[in-house]
Amino acid sequence: MPIKFHEQTKTFHICNKYLSYIICVMENGQMENLYYGKAICDKEDFSYLHEEVMRSLMSVCVPEPGILSMQYTKQEYPVYGTGDFRSPAMTVRQENGSEIVDFKYVSHETYDGKKKLKGLPATYTENESEAQSLDILLHDSVMDTDLILTYTIYEEYPVITRSVRILQKGDQKIRLENMMSASVEFPDMDFEMLQLSGAWSRERYVKTRKLEMGIQAIQSLSGTASSAEQNPFIALKRPHTTEDMGEVYGFSFVYSSNFLAQVEVTPYEMTRVMMGINPQGFSWELKKGEEFQTPEVVMVYSDQGLNGMSQVYHRLYRNHLMRGKWKNRVRPILLNNWEATYFNFTEEKILDIAKKAKEVGVELFVLDDGWFGTRNDDYQGLGDWFVNKNKLPDGISGLSRKIEAMGLKFGLWVELEMVNKDSDCYRAHPDWLIGAPGRFESHSRHQHVLDFSKPEVVDYIYDSISKILDESAISYIKWDMNRYMSEPFSQGMPAAEQGKTMHKYILGVYDLYTRLTEKYPDILFESCSSGGARFDPGMLYFAPQTWTSDDTDAAEREKIQYGTSFVYPIVSMGSHISAVPNHQMHRYTPLATRANVAYFGTFGYELDLNLLSEEELKEVREQVAFMKKYRELIQIEGDFYRILSPFEGNETAWMVVSRDKKHAVAGYYERLNKVNAAWMRLRFKGLDEKQLYTVKWEENSIKAHGNELMYAGIPIDRDYCNKTNGDFYSILYTIEAE
Ligand code: GLA
C-alpha cells in the first residue's frame, strides 16, 4: 500500500519507489509536514523530524509546560490565528468578523484510484490500481466546518496530487477569502525558484532566482486566463541541479484563471510553498450544507534533474490528464489560413489554399477567424455564430463538405466567450457583458467578455455553436479567447456573490467544454488565447493541444517551445511553419529551420502554399512525409530531452528518444552565424550506452555507439553551415539503432 498510517504516532507516509511524503497529527490536532523528498524506508515513528525549541516572542498553542508553536512548525495546511505569522493557506471570515480558525484531525480514509473533482479538470486514473488516495478530515468546532485534504499518489510516477474541500455544517454563513489547493514546507531554503514568465509572442521564458527570506510569488489576475505573463507552474530546484541531475520539486496548477504560486522563506530558513486560486478578487460565501472544492495541484519530485521532472509531467499529462479519442494519438498535419488571408477571404480563395495543401500531403484544413456575422475585421461580429454568406455562400456546411470532398478534414476557429458591441448578440443582451455599473468598460481588441458565470449565457453559446457543428462536417475546433477580464463584476448578481465571478466564469468555460467534448467526442479541440495565454493543464484536460504562441518565427519559437516543454508534452504544442518575412518578427529564417522547429510539436502550416516556388513545394512535401513517418515517435512514444538552452547562448538543441531507446530525432539550431568559430560538439542524451546507432543528417551518416554519442558527441559541421544558410541554421538528426 503506498499510503501507510501509523496509529500510535498518527503519522501518514505517502510513498512509492520514487518519493516519500510524511505528515502527522500534532499535539494540538493540526497537521504537520515532516518530510517530502526521495523515498525513505517506512517506520512507525518519524517524530525526531519534528523540531521544537523555546524562542523569544514565540506563541505557544498548547497548555504549559508544552512549547509547541505554529510559528516555527512545518505545517501541512497552515491557518492564521493559532500563532503562525506566515501567510496562511486559508482565510475564513465568520459572522462575528473573526478570521481565527483551528482545524483539527478527526479521521481519514484511504482508497484505490482517484475521485473526480466536481466541475473541475483534474488528473485521473483509468483503473484503480494505478494510484491510491487519502482524504484527511479536519474539523473546526467553533464554525462546525469540515475540511478535507485530499492526496493521490500514482504508483508509477513520482507524483502526488493535492486538493482541498471545505463543507459548512454549522448554521452560520462563512466566507472563504482564500483557499489554497496545497501548501508544502521544506526545512531549508537552499533552492532556486524556476518560473515560466513572458508576454504575448514571448510566452514561457525560463526564469530562475535564488530564494530569499520573505515572499516571492507569481500570479495571474487575468480572470479569463492563466495568462501569458505567468504560467501556473513553479519549480524549486537545488542550486546545483542541472537538466540531467539533482533534485527538483515541481508544482503545476490544473486551472485556467487567477492563480497564486507563492514561496515564503522565514528568517529560520524554512520554506513554504503554496499554490491555489488567487485570493485577490476571490470571496466565496458558504451557507449550511454548502461546500467548496479547490482545483488540483500536481507535485512532481525528481532527483533526475529538470529533464527528469519534465518527462514525468509529459507522461502524466499525456496518460492521466488528456482524454478522449485524441489521447495518445498522432495529430493531423494541418494548414491554418490565418496568416495566409487574415479576415480577407472568399470561398474560392479558401478552396484554392486547401487544394494546394492537399497536394503536399496536409490532412486538415482549418478556417480561422472571419467566417461569421459581420466579422470583416476585429471591430465586429463576435457573438454572432452564424455564417457570413457574403464570404461563404454555401455556409460552413457547404464549405466543409467541399473540403472533405478534396480528401481533407475540415476545422473551424471560434471565440465563444467574447462579444463585440457591434454584434446582434450584444444588442439583444447588453447585460451579458462582464462590467461594473457606472464604471468604464475597458475594451481589448475591441471586444468584451461574455458573463460565463451565468448558466443562461453558456446555454445560449452552446446552442449556437452546436447548430453549426450539427450542420457541418467539422473534425477540429480552435477555441480562442483573446482578452482578459478587466472589470470583474457580474450584472444582476447580489453583492455577496460578486467575489465568485471569476471562478464561476472559468467553471462556465469548463462546463461548455464538457458539454461540447461529450456531444462531439471525435472533434479534436485546440485551445488558444492570443497565442499561448491559456497554456495550462486545465485546458489540456479538455483540449489536448494548445496554440503555443502567435509568434511563428522559428528562432523565437525555439525559446517558447523550450520553455513550454518544462511542463507540457510535445504533442500538446501547436507549431506551424509560416511565411517569411515572419509576420511578428519580420525576420527571414530558412524553410528547413522553420520545419526543424515545428516538428517538435503538432506540426502544420500557416501560409498560402500557392505563393511558394516549385523548389520550396518540393521541400514542403518532404517535410510532410518526414513528419508522417516520425510523428508517432515525437508526439506519442518518445521522451523529450532538452540539451542546449536558447536562454543561455546562441545555440538550442533538444531531442526525442523512444522508450525502447531504438529511435531518436534531434534538432540543433543556431541563431546568428559566427565567423571563424570555435569547435562545437553536440552531445545527445537518453540513448542506450552500448547500442550501435546510425546517425543521419543532411547528406551525412555515421555509425556510433550510444555512449560515444552521449559523451564524445558529434562535431557540428560549421563549414556546411556557412555554405548553406548562415544565420538561423539548423540540423535535424535521425538516430536509429542498428
Ligand atoms: C488570436 C489567435 C490567432 C488567430 C487570431 C484570429 O490572436 O492567437 O492564432 O486565431 O486570434 O483573430
CATH (domain of 391) = 3.20.20.70
| 70 found inside a domain | yes
Q: Inter-axis angle of helices 395-405 and 347-360, to 10 degrees?
A: 30
8-state DSSP, 169: -
Q: How far apart are CA 169 and CA 146, in angstroms?
A: 7
| 717 found inside a domain | yes
pLDDT in tens, 165-202: 999 999 999 999 999 999 999 999 999 999 999 999 99
Exactly one of 384, 536, 550, 553 is catalytic; name it.
Answer: 550
Exactly one of 384, 480, 536, 553 is catalytic; name it.
Answer: 480
Residue 130 has pLDDT above 90, yes or no: yes
> Partners of 138 in the beta sheet?
105, 147
Q: Is 550 tagged catalytic? A: yes
Identify the residue whose cell numbers are 540543433. Answer: 668
Structural domain including 678 reads: 651-737
Percent of the chain with pLDDT over 90: 97
| 325 found inside a domain | no
Q: Is the peptide bond before 279 cis (omega within 30 degrees of 0)?
A: no
Q: Are residues 379 and 258 in the same domain?
A: no
User: Residue 207 C-alpha to ligand 1 middle, in angstroms?
Assistant: 27
Residue 722 has pLDDT above 70, yes or no: no
Residue 225 has pLDDT above 80, yes or no: yes
Q: How far apart are CA 474 and CA 469, in angstroms?
A: 6
| 142 found inside a domain | yes
Q: How far apart are CA 702 and CA 704, in angstroms?
A: 6
> Partners of 297 in the beta sheet?
162, 253
Q: Are residues 535 and 407 in the same domain?
A: yes
CA 48 to chain centre: 38
Burial class (CB within 10 angstroms; exposed 0-12, middle 13-18, buried 19+) of 218: buried
Q: How far apart are CA 78 and CA 102, in angstroms?
A: 9
Identify the residue whose cell numbers are 519580420. Answer: 586
Q: Are residues 476 and 396 in the same domain?
A: yes
Q: Is 422 tagged catalytic? A: no
pLDDT band of residue 717 (cuts 50, 70, 90) is confident
Q: How far apart are CA 588 and CA 597, in angstroms?
A: 14
Which residue's CA lies nearest to atom 7 of ligand 1?
530
Tell me if 369 sits within 8 A of 478, measured CB to CB.
Answer: no
- How many domains is the chain built from? 3
Q: Are residues 471 and 534 in the same domain?
A: yes
Residue 275 has pLDDT above 80, yes or no: yes
Among the candidates 286, 320, 354, a domain finishes at: 320
Q: Are residues 272 and 362 in the same domain?
A: no
Cβ-based neighbours of 470, under 8 Å, separated by 6 or more: none
The DSSP line for 264-333 is EE-TT--EEEEEEE-STT--EEE-TT-EEE--EEEEEEESBHHHHHHHHHHHHHHHHT--STTTT-PPPP
Q: Which residue of 334, 341, 342, 368 sits with most ligand 1 atoms within 8 Å of its CB, as the best mutation to test the pocket?
A: 368
| CATH classification at residue 692 | 2.60.40.1180
| Dihedral sign (CA 606, 609, 611, 617) | positive
Q: Are residues 619 and 680 in the same domain?
A: no
| 640 found inside a domain | no
User: 550 CB less than 6 Å from ligand 1?
Assistant: yes
User: 569 CB less than 6 Å from ligand 1?
Assistant: no
| CATH classification at residue 61 | 2.70.98.60
User: Residue 478 C-alpha to ligand 1 middle, in angstroms?
Assistant: 9
User: 338 CB less than 6 Å from ligand 1?
Assistant: yes
Among the candidates 633, 666, 681, a domain finishes at: 633
What does residue 626 show for φ and ψ, rounded to 5 degrees?
-60, -45
| 329 found inside a domain | no
pLDDT band of residue 674 (cuts 50, 70, 90) is confident
pLDDT in tens, 529-566: 999 999 999 999 999 999 999 999 999 999 999 999 99
Q: What is the dihedral of CA 432, 433, 435, 436, to 10 degrees?
A: -30
What is the pTM assigned to this prediction? 0.98
Q: Which residue of 369, 479, 534 sits with most ligand 1 atoms within 8 Å of its CB, as the best mutation to test the pocket?
A: 369
User: 479 CB less than 6 Å from ligand 1?
Assistant: no
Which residue's CA lies nearest to atom 6 of ligand 1?
369
Q: How far apart are CA 190 and CA 90, in angstroms?
A: 26
Q: Are residues 18 and 138 in the same domain?
A: yes
pLDDT score recorded for residue 721: 66
Q: Report the pLDDT averaged over residues 71-77.
A: 95
Helix, strand, coil % over all residues of the chain, rounded to 5: 25, 30, 45
Among the candidates 603, 633, 663, a domain finishes at: 633
pLDDT score recorded for residue 653: 98
Residue 76 has pLDDT above 70, yes or no: yes
Tell me if 233 sits within 8 A of 564, measured CB to CB.
Answer: no
pLDDT band of residue 322 (cuts 50, 70, 90) is very high
Q: Report the pLDDT averaged over residues 330-346.
A: 98
User: 480 CB less than 6 Å from ligand 1?
Assistant: yes
Atom of ligand 1 at shortest distance to CA of 478?
A: 10
8-state DSSP, 523: P
pLDDT score recorded for residue 493: 96
Q: Are residues 406 and 511 in the same domain?
A: yes
| 468 found inside a domain | yes
The DSSP line for 55-116 is -TTPPP-S-TT----GGGS-BSS-BSSSS--S--SEEEE-TTS------EEEEEEEEES-PP
Among 266, 231, 263, which Cα is nearest to 249's?
263
Cβ-based neighbours of 613, under 8 Å, separated by 6 or more: none
User: 530 CB less than 6 Å from ligand 1?
Assistant: yes
Q: Are residues 92 and 176 in the same domain?
A: yes
Among 123, 538, 517, which Cα is nearest to 320's?
123
pLDDT band of residue 726 (cuts 50, 70, 90) is confident
Q: Are residues 627 and 494 in the same domain?
A: yes
Q: How far apart are CA 694 and CA 504, in angstroms?
A: 55
Atom of ligand 1 at shortest distance to CA of 413?
A: 10
Q: What would the 3-class secondary structure string for 340-371 be? A: HHCCCCCHHHHHHHHHHHHHHCCCEEEECCCC
User: 531 CB less than 6 Å from ligand 1?
Assistant: yes
Q: Are residues 361 and 220 in the same domain?
A: no
C-alpha cell at 640: 523529450
CA distances, 732 to each of 190, 565, 668 (Å) = 38, 19, 6
User: 292 CB less than 6 Å from ligand 1?
Assistant: no
Number of alpha carbons in the 13 Å side-chain half-sphere of residue 493:
24
Pairing, β 700-705 against β 409-414? unpaired
Q: Are residues 582 and 674 in the same domain?
A: no
Tell me if 606 sits within 8 A of 339, measured CB to CB.
Answer: yes
| 644 found inside a domain | no
Residue 311 has pLDDT above 90, yes or no: yes
C-alpha cell at 307: 529533464
